[in-house]
Amino acid sequence: MTDERKFPAGNPPGFPPEGRALTSEGQTLPPKGPTLEDWAARGKRLANEPASGAAVRNPRTSDLPTEPDPSVMNRRVVLKVLAAAAAAPAIACDAGSGGSGGEGAVSAPDQPTANPHALGTPTDPDLLTPVVPWDLVLSDEEMVTAAALADVIIPADDWSPASSSVGAHHFVNEWVSAPYEGQRRDLVLIRGGLVWLNATSMERYGAPFAELTSEQHRAICDEICYLPDALPALRRWARFFDKMRDLVSTGFWTTPEGMADLGYQGNVPLPSFDGPPAEVLAQLGLD
């Protein structure tokens, strides 16, 4: 690809510092950056790049109510449940809810079917059998388009599978189906964007987006992959692409396959811990 578009907005979680602060809210932007194709390839190389050392603050357990009402699920509790579900063996989707079902979701073999010590409530979820407590709203046709776009954003390569194969598009469906104000706004944006993708694909190539070639996918997505460069008539769809990229990235890099792609070493039980390796201590000047 010959154009020199700036680095797309909305970095995935854990993106290295040289891809810093790339949003549409006025943060500092580099003068130039890769195209959509380069962005996808660069994101998949995260596992081979040195860590930035930046810490991510975890929600404090003291934020939980001391005497929760099991019948009440507020926004904060729901977000905690979503974060907990992301740490489970796979992205969870209710195969019987909504038009899309659970096709493409990955489940971990040889795992207990339930945790008898968990109450299964919003504040004490069963992480071995996580559930989505609301109906999924995207249709089968919308999910096919969402899966195709997810694989444009994070395609398969030598390090990891395509994002749709680990259910990242199902995470998008779970998110936009949530009965909360922010998610409802996202649902309108995502649904409109999926309609626009198919309409544009039919107008240009006579086929829906999911049936286009990789080159045709990029020809369309390069026009909306970076909001400041988007034409005025396409800025709504650039915001759609930005939101879709954030959700797909979150869905992908919180699966076991995505964490392995990053080289993430956490969430693994160890019989013992001998401390940081000597080379890490030396790099930090702590040897």
> For 79-120, what is each residue's pLDDT tens digit?
555 555 555 444 444 434 444 444 444 444 444 567 888 888
Query: Does residue 215 fall inside a structural domain?
Result: yes
Model's pTM, two decimal places?
0.57
Q: In whole angstroms, what is the distance from residue 153 CA to residue 240 CA? A: 13
Is 186 within the bounds of a domain? Answer: yes
Per-residue pLDDT of the chain (287 residues; tens, 9 = 90+): 434 333 344 444 444 444 444 444 444 444 444 556 655 555 555 444 444 433 333 333 333 334 444 444 555 555 555 555 555 444 444 434 444 444 444 444 444 567 888 888 878 888 888 888 899 999 999 999 999 999 999 999 998 999 999 999 999 999 999 999 999 999 999 999 999 999 999 999 999 999 999 999 999 999 999 999 999 999 999 999 999 999 999 999 999 999 999 888 787 788 888 888 899 999 999 97
Angstrom distance (rounded) from CA 15 to CA 249? 10
What is the Cα–Cα distance from 253 to 13, expressed in whole angstroms?
Answer: 7
Domain count, the chain: 1
Q: Which residues of 33-65 are buried (b: 16+ CB within 10 A; e: fewer)?
A: bbbbbebbebbbebeeeeeeeeeeeeeeeeeee
How high does pLDDT run on average in the chain?
74
Range of the domain at 210: 17-52+134-265
Structural domain includes residue 276: no
For 121, list phi and psi in degrees, rounded to 5: -100, 170
